[in-house]
Amino acid sequence: MESSLSCCSFACCRKEKKALDASVSQNTIGPMYDGIAPIYDIWGKLTESHAINRAMALADIKDGQAILEIAVGTGLAFYEIVKKNPTGTNTGFDLSRGMLEKAKKRVSRLSEANYSLDIGTAFDLPIEDESIDTLVNSYMFDLIPFADMQKIITEFRRVLKKNGKLIVVNMTEGERLGSRIYDFIYDISPKLLGGCRGVKLSEKLKQCGFKVESREYFQQMLFPSEVILAYK
């Protein structure tokens, strides 16, 4: 097993003074999103679809690849992945059974597609070392405490092939007029935002050995997102 812990300094995962840290327990995320699952597509299409569409364009998936998505949610991105990679290997994990059920129903519309969807955590992936061409991860790091991010980045590096592609989408810190309203909402009640707060992941990825190709900012319905393209 490849170890990239040496690539990650304490600076990679320490809490930034002015940044909001995660305040919702990881143990409660699955059940919380089970409850959100029936209406999540509405939120996703209104606030996240532009960033997800850009992520899929950057992924540039070709049929026959090994693709892994962590935090598949209701399968909005996973559907597109499987559609573009019908004879490849498509694997997805999420903490929420409710979200996975919606994802499975969505992807079942594709005939003769090769995929698997299951409960799983980014901290311990049941995936072989250096076996994945492209790893996609959307709106998950904004739920992760700063102190735990290194563990997940290390796991992502482990499963990616040499020069493998990483596409990450996060809720990020607002950069335009009106976007800081979500910080205000988070201060009132993190659960109103599904436990998500704005993060910036580029520097943490670089410090852990990833080569960051680009970082793009999107704002949809005032909701701020970042889309990062990086390589192992």
Concatenated DSSP letters of 124-145: S----TT-EEEEEEES-GGGS-
Compute the average pLDDT of residues 26-30.
93
Q: What is the 3-state secondary structure (H, E, C) of 61-109?
A: CCCCCEEEEECCCCCHHHHHHHHHCCCCEEEEEECCHHHHHHHHHHHCC
Looking at the 3D structure of the chain, how many domains does it have? 1
pLDDT digits (tens, 9 = 90+) for 187-213: 999 999 999 999 999 999 999 999 999
What domain range is 162 assigned to? Answer: 5-14+22-231
Please check the confidence at residue 131 and state whether its pLDDT lies above 90: yes
What's 219's domain CATH number?
A: 3.40.50.150
Compute the average pLDDT of residues 76-88.
97
With cut-offs at 50, 70 and 90, classify the pLDDT of residue 18: low
In angstroms, what CA-CA distances link 14 with 18, 71, 135, 172? Answer: 12, 23, 24, 17
Compute the average pLDDT of residues 67-76.
98
Structure tokens at 207: 């410090």
